[in-house]
Homo-oligomer: A and B are copies of this chain.
Amino acid sequence: MANNNRDRAAPVPLSQVVIDSGFWAERQRVNRERTIPAIYRQLEETGRIKAWSMARTHDIPKERSTVHMFWDSDTGKWLESVAYSLATHPDPDLKAQAEALIDAVAGAQQADGYLNTYFPVLHPEGKWTNLRDWHEMYNAGHLIEAGVAYHQATGDPKLLDVLLRFATHIDATFGVDDGKLRGYPGHPELELALVKLYRETGQERWLNLAAYFIEERGQEPRYFDIEAARRGEKREDFWAQTYRYCQAHAPLREQTEANGHAVRACYLYAGIADVALETGDEELLTLSRRLWDDLTRRQMYLHGGVGPSHSNEGFTFAYDMPTETAYAETCAAIALAFWAQRMFHLDPDSRYINIMERAIYNGSLSGLSFDGAGFFYANPLAAYPGVNPMGRWSGILDSGHFRRVDWFFCPCCPPNISRLIASIGEYSYSQQGNRVYVQLYHENSAAFDVARQGFSLEQVTEYPWDGTIVFEVNAEQPVSFELALRIPDWCHDYQLLVNGERIEVELERGYALLPRQWSGGDRVELALAMPVERVLPHREIRQVAGQVALQRGPLIYCLEEADNGPRLANVCIPSTTELEAIFDGELFGGVAVIKGEALRIELSPDNSALYRFHSREQVAESTFRFRAIPYYLWANREPGEMRVWLRSC
């Protein structure tokens, strides 16, 4: 079924993109030095490392309930992040640590290829009995991604081979053939991992298995009903009450809206795009565009986060965008970025990459502290210290929602943001034939091979703090390729110079195309105007009606109490205020802040009256100079209020 069109667009591998300076170099340094070690320490302390040896050593924690069925995915994502890091920054100690863990993983594999820390030891009869709720396939997917990444990074096939055996076991167990179970993942993720496995090995069976999971999902009779009946349960007993939660309420080809648990949804949709790309299935492309449009035009937060609701960690309904209680899980924004990148390669248009950039720089990056060792699960658009958006009451507040924490009971987000940062090079360029797409602007040097001509591009820029990007071509000999520069949707005014000469081009699907025979030393300068913009919400978004947000370039900004004092709800940004972007070299290693005049409009503090009549009151207005910081940096100073959307007056 594979579509072997080799002329299609594909990401340029991260091993070809050297990031030694600029925005992402610093984020990657912190990831290597702080985040990867901090996550390993947590894996160790929580027993996740030792768990791989439980079957052999019988060293089972006394409190068996501390071992959880999603643990293996944390190992998987950590190994994947390490692989990306090793690919660009070799580190023998880290490699040795990873290899010891890979040995432990390999040692836990059962004779039939099955691989899981939880079930063989703690619940052997539970194996493959509840695909809906238990995470065996989800874990498998993350381990497969790690196996592929580790093989690509180091050439070492050990983990990949282990996972190929596990994938073989899964393929033998699930499918439409007689004697197989017609199951599919409760928590999608395996689909996209199998496509990676297919691409890495060239073995079509993995693509076919991914395609099977996508076709089977939501078909009648529902597999989740069948397995529930085997467990003596009814459909109504499902705790989430609806298969929308796991996107299995209808066959995928019939689905029209992004639904349910947001991370599941975006991983699944990414898998659909992968299969569509590999098979050339036009209906899956149409489905992908339909879901994409629904999600990004009706259900996406300004910061690229998705899934407003805590109770299902997911979607509610169109235009429902609570701010303080937004869930907008870090993993969901990351998953949206994954999906966006795949959509581009399926349907090359900058609109996908614009969203990818939004999700990466805002709703994903906010999941990590500036120092690299604190994590957010939820990414609200407003915060008030002491509020618990989970809806619990005071006294038992979950501080994880206005202050980043070391770890979570379900720590899916920490290794996810780590692997995204480690692999940012892979999101920077795409190539299609002799066209080189520049997707993300940041300082780096990337090597390309176009029609067997090698050359490299040096990208020099202060982006995202400044909109000027300079490219220098390094080539021994003249080389013919088309440079496709993304003109971001936030930019309405730009200049393009080639070797100092102004060039005007028509955009094609959001890209400025520069086909040319290039020579070493050729220089392209792209100047994206980056004014501070006031963002207005769609008229159906009731929660922020009458409010504005501030954006500059790809970055969404916020006001914090640390800069602006308390009671940010009473702060108004006049529509006439001049908004200035100022680079502050002292703040967080140097960031552009936004300043301007704002009003604080409020009644005098009379503590004996909660409500007063306007006819008898003077409302005080005072002016002050506000300072807004990039949203992704919020909650890195003393705890306090934060708001993205501000009253407009």
Contacts and interface: CB of A to CB of B under 8 A. Distances in A.
Contacts of A260: 393
Chain A, interface size category, equals 35 or more
A535 interface: yes
Contacts of A604: 539
A56 interface: no
B539 A570 contact: yes
A611 B315 contact: no
A510 B617 CA distance: 21
A535 B392 CA distance: 29
B492 A533 contact: no
Contacts of A296: 610
Contact of A242 (B242, B300, B395): B395
A468 to B, nearest CB: 21
A577 B483 CA distance: 58
A300 B392 CA distance: 19
A387 B242 contact: no
A608 B289 CA distance: 13
Contacts of A602: 539, 545
A607 interface: yes
A450 to B, nearest CB: 34
Interface string A85-120: 000000000000000000000000000000000000
Contact of A548 (B315, B540, B614): B614
Nearest to A311: B391
Interface in A289-331: 293, 296-298, 300, 302, 309-312, 314-317, 319-320, 325
State the number of copies, please: 2
A529 B543 CA distance: 36
A537 interface: yes
A386 B535 contact: no
Given A395-B242, A536-B611, A609-B297, A546 B387 contact: no
A575 interface: yes
B297 A607 contact: yes
A478 interface: no
Among A395, A531, A549, A610, which residue has the most Cβ atoms of chain B within 10 A? A610
Given A312-B393, A609-B538, A570 B548 contact: no
A191 to B, nearest CB: 23
Q: Which secondary structure characterizes the binding site on chain A?
A: loop
Contacts of A241: 395-396
Contacts of A609: 297, 538
Interface in A597-617: 601-617
A319 B548 CA distance: 24
Among A298, A539, A617, which residue has the most Cβ atoms of chain B within 10 A? A539
A603 B567 contact: no
A212 interface: no
A309 B391 contact: yes
B575 A614 contact: yes
A613 B535 contact: yes
A534 B603 CA distance: 13
A302 B611 contact: yes
Interface in A561-615: 567-570, 572, 575, 601-615
B534 A546 contact: no
B533 A545 contact: no
B536 A617 contact: yes
A451 interface: no
Nearest to A386: B317
A459 to B, nearest CB: 26
A637 interface: no
Contact of A541 (B319, B538, B610, B613): B610
Contacts of A534: 613-615
A290 to B, nearest CB: 14
Contacts of A607: 297-298
A572 B649 CA distance: 12
Nearest to A299: B610
B320 A546 contact: no
A33 to B, nearest CB: 36
B315 A616 contact: no
A384 interface: yes
A391 B310 contact: yes
A470 to B, nearest CB: 26
A555 to B, nearest CB: 14
Given A533-B615, A539-B570, A610-B297, A546 B393 contact: no
Contacts of A242: 393, 395-396
18 contacts: A244-B394, A297-B610, A298-B610, A300-B610, A309-B393, A492-B616, A533-B613, A536-B612, A536-B613, A538-B603, A538-B605, A538-B612, A539-B604, A542-B567, A542-B568, A545-B570, A546-B572, A546-B601
Given A245-B393, A537-B603, 8 more contacts: A242-B393, A244-B393, A316-B393, A536-B612, A536-B619, A545-B567, A545-B602, A545-B647
Top 9 nearest A-B pairs (CB, nearest first) are A545-B569, A542-B569, A539-B602, A534-B614, A312-B393, A533-B613, A311-B391, A317-B394, A242-B395
